[in-house]
Amino acid sequence: MKKVLSIGEVLWDVFPTYKKPGGSPANLAYHLHSLGNSTILASRIGKDKNGEELLHFLKEKGLPTDQIQSDETHNTGTVSVTFTDGEPSYVIHEPAAWDFIEYSDALKAAASRLDAICFASLSQRNSVTAGTVQHLLNDLPERCLKVFDLNLRPPFIDRELITSQIEIADVVKFNEEEFEQAKEWFSTHNPAAYLLNLHPEKIILRTLGANGSEMITSSGTFSEDACPISGDGDFVGVGDAFLACFTHLRLQKTALEKLLPAANRYAALVASKQGGMPEIPGSIIEFVNR
């Protein structure tokens, strides 16, 4: 079992007719745990009913909650989700408890034993959590895999912070719009080539929606079509599921050519369900781990 920490928001995604536990880092932690890793979710909730319900959900799923801090002042995070032509849009309410994750002694001790850390840009919209992420990055063991998800959500975009973390990460995930933004930030028509020239060991991931996914490495570019989706899903957390599966297999030293097919299939399963943390059938876990 690999020890993985995902830091950032745990919250409620509030849909027009229901609510589901969410937050990109929480989704990642859930899927990494489901795939068999020793997973830590570092986050913060308010002392309110929403926070109590999130803790109950996470404990029910077997996820450790000892690194989820309690906030006396700020409420548990919520996101209002609406849909236009099947595409979700979000209102991410602020401030929220997850904006104020503190760098505790317990979190520092956990960092020293990690095999991988997953972090994202939205989680760092407030300087308190951003500072905690930076402390974690400074205290990691050398072997630790650093996985960064851009998660650009206007207006919470800090160009300087994001570009610096793109450069230090071992694995960076972009969606199509984020990759276009990176072209402007790095003043290049090909951000992947630019980054790999500076850091040949880096892996660049692009999620392409209905067109599948792409992995760009110094060894070459790998592409994989999207898998068919069935059911009445809402497509929330699909990129998180993809990245969690990829990270899991990367830690297992799976051959590069096998990474995208498994990650795409796992993501398609989540796309067919409601919310970012649905029940994961044993069959898909067996498929990923075989």
Give the tens place of pLDDT for each residue, 72-112: 999 999 999 888 877 778 899 999 999 999 999 999 999 99
Predicted confidence at residue 84, as pLDDT, reads: 82
Please name the amino acid found at residue 220: G
CA R_g for the chain: 18
Predicted confidence at residue 85, as pLDDT, reads: 79
User: Distance of CA 209 to CAs 129, 154, 227, 277, Å?
Assistant: 30, 20, 10, 19
pLDDT at 230 over 90: no
Provide the pLDDT confidence category of residue 67 given band limits of 50, 70 and 90. Answer: very high
Please name the amino acid found at residue 192: A
- Domain regions of the chain by residue span: 3-277
Instruction: Identify the CATH number of the domain defined by range 3-277.
Output: 3.40.1190.20
As a whole-number percent, the residues of the chain with pLDDT over 70 amount to 100
User: Distance of CA 169 to CAs 80, 144, 149, 289, Å?
Assistant: 30, 10, 10, 25
Predicted confidence at residue 236, as pLDDT, reads: 82
Q: How far apart are CA 136 and CA 127, in angstroms?
A: 14
Predicted confidence at residue 117, as pLDDT, reads: 98
Tokens of 128: 């308190």
Provide the H-helix boundaries in the chain: 24-34, 49-60, 105-111, 127-138, 159-168, 176-185, 191-198, 238-251, 256-271, 282-289
Predicted confidence at residue 278, as pLDDT, reads: 92
